[in-house]
Homo-oligomer: A and B are copies of this chain.
Amino acid sequence: MTTNELARFSLNQMTVKQLSLPDLVDACTELGVRNAGLWREPVRRYGVEAAARLVRDAGLNVTTLCRGGFLTATDPARRAAALDDNRAAVDEAAALGTDTLVLVCGGLPDGSKDLHGARERIADALAVLGPYAAERGVRLAVEPLHPMFAADRCVVSTLAQALDLAERFPAEQVGVTVDTYHIWWDDQAPEQIARAGAGGRIAAFQLADWITPLPAGVLNGRGQIGDGAIDMRQWKKRVEAAGYTGPIEVEVFNEELWARDGKQVVAETARRFLDHVM
């Protein structure tokens, strides 16, 4: 594997959450990986400024920060707190030098059955956060999550819904995240990728494979690239045909990967990327 072959590969930090931030940076440097997607919690534990220095000194490009969002609360105090937290996330993204903040928009409030209302509250929040982010050189990337998360994690379940939200705002403020794990089942997703590309809305492209059986809670059962049902190369072609030529993040939440040696997992993930994506 060469740096040139891996030019578009980005390693999302969650794929190897067992690694400390310095170890992640070292592993990327050793393998010639030049891009990484980072997560707020480990970055904050390490210190945002220190993390920014670490990746900058290593010449590592931060492709996204994951994640803001959780914008569906009805309680005014909770809504205000969520907006504050998302402003902080924008500031952190700017400090890290990434132009993309991925948003997981939030599920239904306890006891609510109103999906439409929850989606509208996300739009209200984007109206506040979009300008704040754009002023700091950061774009919000609304991520549709698989419909199995609609109740408890993200009421935005399809790329069409994500675009319906994003298109209410300027493209430099709000884009979308295309993640194969969440959209692979959707026969409308190819045309929605074209729509997203035509509007300049593809802010991030992430990969994970679909494997079964799903574990309890379904969050940490994503598959390593090539292990599952998703035709990665075909999705990459669709996203490229829509005009996207940016980094491609591999973001796998998987207990088995997390139990292994992190640096080995980084190497395996880069290898899988070359074998199944490029």
Contact = CB atoms under 8 A, between A and B. Distances in A.
Contacts of A116: 187
5 contacts: A115-B187, A119-B187, A146-B147, A147-B148, A151-B185
- For chain A, the bracket of interface size reads 35 or more
A248 to B, nearest CB: 18
A181 to B, nearest CB: 11
A108 B229 contact: yes
Given A115-B184, A147-B186, 17 more contacts: A112-B229, A113-B229, A113-B231, A114-B231, A115-B187, A147-B147, A148-B214, A148-B218, A150-B184, A150-B185, A150-B210, A151-B210, A151-B229, A157-B187, A160-B188, A213-B218, A216-B216
A215 interface: yes
A199 interface: no
A214 B212 contact: no
Nearest to A212: B152
Contacts of A119: 187
Given A113-B231, A147-B148, A214 B210 contact: no
Nearest to A183: B147
A228 interface: yes
A193 to B, nearest CB: 15
Given A216-B214, A229-B113, A148 B151 contact: no
A61 interface: no
B217 A185 contact: no
Interface in A107-150: 108, 112-116, 119, 146-148, 150
A29 interface: no
Nearest to A112: B229
Contact of A146 (B148, B187, B229): B148
Contacts of A215: 216
